[in-house]
């Protein structure tokens, strides 16, 4: 339950992001052109012609080859740091490894992003999406040097993180807050737990989530109940401040943590240093070795 006087926005940016991701995937598949570099019989869905997929042994997600993704902007430490192609920290957000990867991310974008944009507007949600995606790419590059990474997962985890911090900072205006918090935490934990499986870049997830969590305190605080009445004038409410004291404290602390954290991460990255040297156990956050798989093949 929130103040009914708060305006509701029409969601258009999230659908634009969705269309952009799909369009980029179509372009990637056009460039990939599986029949050109593979025997026609080995391509999957051959009736699609040059849009057919790579053999499932090479890409089980029904998508392009890794070489095509590298050519079109996938995140790769060597190219970002050694070859000074920092633009890959952004372009990788719009690339996907396959139809399954794209479908999972776009469904998440619809269910999470549209609700947030309706409540907070396209400017704040656009900033959340892009900055979280960028930060996820930075953290991934710090810890993963031998593999490429693509996908909007960092940006989507940023939206999840923002949902959590928005619930915390606006705690007093919600009903059923405990159940909402528990549900959200369970969803986040499950999704982060999936990241410890091989071939999943959990550093992107974690970086995006932490950034979105901090940005939520900065961009998504709601005014106190009653403040929005009568054109933002606190008439007959006795309110002297638009926001509660704890919202101001969280706002300042989050700005400091976000700016300092991102600045330090970028400095360490472009000094060609390995994040695993500073945190010897952090590699377990992205892959936990078992008898069924070897994490050294994925990091």
Q: Tell me which residue has tokens 């593979």.
A: 38
Catalytic residue among 135, 141, 153, 286: 153
> In angstroms, rounded to a whole number, what is the distance separating the alpha carbons of residues 167 and 188?
14
Name the residue among 48, 36, 18, 74 with its Cα closest to residue 201: 74
Choose among 63, 214, 80, 213: nearest CA to 137.
Answer: 80
For 273, left (φ over 0), alpha (ψ -120 to 50), or beta? beta
Active site residue 205: yes
Catalytic residue among 101, 108, 149, 205: 205
Contacts of 149 (CB under 8 A, 6+ apart): 74, 75, 76, 92, 137, 140, 201, 204
Is residue 153 part of the annotated active site? The answer reads: yes
Q: What tokens were used for 222? A: 């709601």
User: Which residues form the catalytic set?
Assistant: 153, 205
């Amino acid at each position: 339950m929130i103040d009914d006087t708060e305006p509701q926005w029409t969601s258009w940016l999230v659908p634009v992001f969705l269309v952009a991701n799909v369009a980029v995937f179509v372009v990637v598949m056009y460039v990939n052109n599986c029949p050109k570099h593979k025997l026609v019989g080995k391509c999957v869905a051959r009736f699609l012609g040059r849009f057919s997929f790579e053999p499932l042994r090479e890409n089980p997600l029904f998508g392009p080859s890794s070489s095509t993704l590298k050519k079109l902007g996938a995140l790769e430490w060597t190219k970002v740091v050694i070859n000074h192609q920092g633009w890959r920290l952004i372009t990788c957000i719009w690339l996907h490894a396959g139809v399954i990867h794209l479908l999972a991310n776009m469904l998440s974008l619809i269910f999470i992003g549209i609700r947030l944009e309706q409540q907070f507007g396209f400017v704040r949600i656009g900033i959340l999406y892009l900055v979280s995606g960028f930060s996820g790419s930075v953290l991934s590059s710090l810890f993963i040097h031998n593999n490429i990474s693509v996908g909007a997962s960092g940006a989507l985890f940023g939206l999840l993180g923002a949902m959590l911090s928005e619930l915390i900072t606006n705690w007093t205006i919600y009903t059923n807050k405990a159940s909402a918090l528990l549900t959200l935490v369970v969803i986040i934990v499950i999704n982060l737990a999936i990241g410890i499986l091989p071939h999943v870049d959990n550093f992107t997830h974690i970086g995006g989530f932490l950034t979105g969590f901090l940005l939520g305190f900065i961009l998504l605080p709601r005014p106190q109940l009653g403040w929005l009445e009568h054109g933002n004038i606190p008439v007959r409410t006795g309110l002297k401040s638009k926001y509660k004291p704890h919202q101001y404290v969280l706002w300042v602390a989050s700005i400091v943590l976000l700016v300092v954290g991102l600045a330090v991460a970028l400095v360490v990255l472009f000094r060609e240093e390995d994040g695993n040297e500073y945190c010897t156990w952090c590699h377990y956050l992205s892959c936990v070795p078992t008898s069924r798989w070897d994490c050294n093949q994925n990091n």
